[in-house]
Chains A and B, each alone.
Chain A
Amino acid sequence: MGQTTGRVLEGQAALVTGGSQGLGRALGGALAAAGARVVLVGRHLEPLAAAVAEIRAAGGEAHAIVADVADKDAAAVIAGQSTALVGPIDLLINNASALGPVPLRLLLDTDCEDLERALAVNLVGAFRLTKAIAGPMVLRGAGTIVNITSDAATEAYERWGAYGASKAALEQLGRVWAAELAGTGVRLLTVDPGEMDTRMHADALPDANRAELSDPARVAARILALVAGSDTASGARVAIRVGPAGVSAAGAAIR
């Protein structure tokens, strides 16, 4: 699976949460460069506005929505506002993630409220927004939803319990969602982007060797290829391992 070039998403509307930094920001750039009208969601206006400005400077279309996906009232607002700006959403990427307080803590030391926050953003926030966006997709008979997960969902990494549990639950939601939406034309993909050189990663593992981490832009290019193509079946979990910028990489593994 190579890097997708050209305007393969021309005319499509894409909504990306966690869009002001890291993978979300890279995805916004990649989707807009592919011709999509992009809406980025984030909690803080300044970094979001910078991401939007960067896309517009490159000739793409992008809009910002300041919202916290964990807020119960946010889903209807994000759905309505984004559709007003770019039309019905063809592609939703649930990328917003809360890690919880760093340094990460053992489960025995984790406050219940911190687990609840991870679940509120990573699981319930994605669930609520998917409900608001997938219904219209089913009505129109087409659409793709991507949930961004982590290998912490499947591996028992010490101190990643709250985050990992939220992502494991998100993955299971994705499987059930794919089963329930079979035959509707709406596809749900779960993507594990691997360890990326992002602020979130630096927060969690400040001593990591950045030279070993994947470049979010290269991961975004792979995700673009995934959503632009139709060969990945709904319900699939795709692990992307691309490595740092400029280094040849292993491919995507589907399991």
Chain B
Amino acid sequence: MRPARTYPDRRDDVRLLVIDPAAPEGAGLRETRTPALPELLAPGDLLVVNDAATLPASLRGTDEAGRPVEVRLIAVRGGWRADAGSSSPVHPSPLRFAAVLFGDGDWHTRTEDRPPPPELAEGARLHFGALRATVGRHASLSPRLLELRFDGDADALWAALYKEGRPVQYAHLAHDLPLWAVQTVYATRPWAFEMPSAGRPLSWEILLALRRRGVRWASLTHAAGLSATGDPAIDAALPLPEAFEIPSATARAVAETRARGGRVVAVGTTVVRALEGAAQQHDGIVRAGRGETDLRITPVFRPRVVDGILSGAHAAHESHFQLLAAFAGADLLAAAAAHAERSGFLTHELGDAMLVLPGALAQPERKATSAP
């Protein structure tokens, strides 16, 4: 499988491989296209999306000695401003981020081929155009994972970050990605350091058709971090703990859907991590609120809340593909990977899609109670 090097003509019209672990043997796969999504879900199902907008999280600049560096922000330290209520805390000032340091160059070079960054001591100053930062503590994991404190108050920081920053992207792409191209159609709170790309093929045409069909939507915010850094120690630890917030309406919708036998369909790994991470912290119940999760979805993980997942297409060797094994058996997934390979599915953030959902291929009109 090849990575998509640019956007599809229409965001909501890419190939979709439907993987139905509840279908009879040999009938668990079907290739269609994303506009068919509304028919694959049933009235009473709940689609949960990550509403995080993608930040311009890559900054290129120099240290005090003029040596070129790139930092890619990976997490906020100290919390975000809450949305409503005058009692909510404002951004901590100065605002601190965890960041991964890169040497000279940019996304055109594969992360693992990038020259090593200069060694930066705690207190070193970095300049990114109008934006200035001080290096804080290094993580024990790697000297390339460090804390950055930006100068200025929140107004100045966000203005400078949006002026100097670019979306994080990788060498498989053919061109620069503008900020608008790495947003979902419902991108709201700028928490994501990379696009929560499973939701990229969703258009309002599809979302409103789902609603007309009786499928509910709900949202949460999950601070998706980086998917690769080229540093073996950091990459082995990814994803790092990530912040999430689940609104009370979403917690309620999940509980109601499960109580009525509907299926909870997560759009992307970040939604799985947030919902299952929250459930893990509260005896299997998804509670509203903020948290941080270090949950890693592995083939042996048994989801307690999420029944299915809409995901980007991934090749069998990718970690993202392996986590689909939490939702479907190894044989079916092997057949799915072979099909996607034969069919020339495109991978990565601008590529094709996969839906793993029990009952998705049961026809014609399933009852909402077909969940396993």
Let me know if A87 is at the binding interface, CB within 8 A. Answer: yes
Let me know if A10 is at the binding interface, CB within 8 A. Answer: yes
Complex contact B204–A66 (CB within 8 A): no
Decide yes or no: A84 and B84 within 8 Å by CB, A75-B180, A77-B179, A140-B219 being known contacts.
no
Interface size of B by Cβ–Cβ distance < 8 Å?
A: 31
Let me know if B242 is at the binding interface, CB within 8 A. Answer: no
Known contacts A72-B180, A81-B158; can you find 17 more A-B pairs with CB under 8 A?
A11-B84, A11-B85, A73-B178, A76-B179, A80-B179, A81-B159, A84-B189, A85-B155, A87-B82, A87-B83, A132-B183, A135-B185, A135-B188, A138-B207, A139-B51, A139-B188, A139-B217
Complex contact A63–B190 (CB within 8 A): no
Q: B187 touches which one: A10, A11, A136, A140 (CB < 8 A)?
A: A136
Q: How far does the alpha carbon of A50 sit from the alpha carbon of B21 in the complex, in Å? A: 61
Q: A85 touches which one: B55, B86, B158, B204 (CB < 8 A)?
A: B158
Let me know if A225 is at the binding interface, CB within 8 A. Answer: no
Decide yes or no: A83 and B85 within 8 Å by CB, A75-B180, A136-B51, A139-B219 being known contacts.
no
Instruction: Write the residues of chain B forming the contact surface with A, with a CB cutoff of 8 angstroms.
Output: 49, 51, 53, 55-56, 80-86, 154-155, 158-159, 162, 178-180, 183, 185-190, 204, 207, 217, 219
Q: How far does the alpha carbon of A122 sit from the alpha carbon of B49 in the complex, in Å? A: 32
Query: For B179, what are the chain A residues with a Cβ–Cβ distance below 8 Å?
Result: 73, 76-77, 80
Decide yes or no: A138 and B204 within 8 Å by CB, A11-B84, A80-B190, A88-B83 being known contacts.
yes
Residues of A44-80 contacting chain B, CB below 8 A? 63-66, 72-73, 75-77, 79-80
Q: How far does the alpha carbon of A90 sit from the alpha carbon of B96 in the complex, in Å? A: 27
CB contacts between A and B, total, < 8 Å: 82
Query: Closest CB of chain B to A132's CB: distance in Å?
Result: 8
Residues of A73-112 contacting chain B, CB below 8 A? 73, 75-77, 79-81, 83-88
Complex contact B53–A83 (CB within 8 A): yes
Least CB separation from A134: chain B residue: B204
Query: For A66, what are the chain B residues with a Cβ–Cβ distance below 8 Å?
Result: 159
Decide yes or no: A135 and B178 within 8 Å by CB, A66-B159, A80-B162, A87-B81 being known contacts.
no
Query: For A11, what are the chain B residues with a Cβ–Cβ distance below 8 Å?
Result: 84-86
Query: What bracket does the count of chain A residues touching chain B fall in?
Result: 20 to 34
Secondary structure type dominating chain A contacts: helix
Least CB separation from B157: chain A residue: A84
Query: Closest CB of chain B to A144's CB: distance in Å?
Result: 16
Query: For B82, what are the chain A residues with a Cβ–Cβ distance below 8 Å?
Result: 87
Complex contact A64–B155 (CB within 8 A): yes
Complex contact B162–A87 (CB within 8 A): no
Decide yes or no: A73 and B204 within 8 Å by CB, A11-B84, A63-B155, A139-B217 being known contacts.
no
Complex contact B204–A135 (CB within 8 A): yes
Least CB separation from B154: chain A residue: A85
Q: How far does the alpha carbon of A12 sit from the alpha carbon of B86 in the complex, in Å? A: 10
Query: Closest CB of chain A to B179's CB: distance in Å?
Result: 4
Complex contact B159–A65 (CB within 8 A): yes
Query: Closest CB of chain B to A84's CB: distance in Å?
Result: 5
Q: How far does the alpha carbon of A138 sit from the alpha carbon of B53 in the complex, in Å? A: 15
Q: How far does the alpha carbon of A66 sit from the alpha carbon of B156 in the complex, in Å? A: 11
Q: How far does the alpha carbon of A73 sit from the alpha carbon of B49 in the complex, in Å? A: 25
Query: For B159, what are the chain A residues with a Cβ–Cβ distance below 8 Å?
Result: 65-66, 81
Query: Closest CB of chain B to A161's CB: distance in Å?
Result: 31
Least CB separation from B53: chain A residue: A80
Residue of A63, A79, A84, A135 ringed by the most chain B CB atoms within 10 A: A84
Decide yes or no: A77 and B162 within 8 Å by CB, A85-B155, A87-B82, A135-B204 being known contacts.
yes
Q: How far does the alpha carbon of A63 sit from the alpha carbon of B90 in the complex, in Å? A: 13
Q: How far does the alpha carbon of A81 sit from the alpha carbon of B161 in the complex, in Å? A: 9
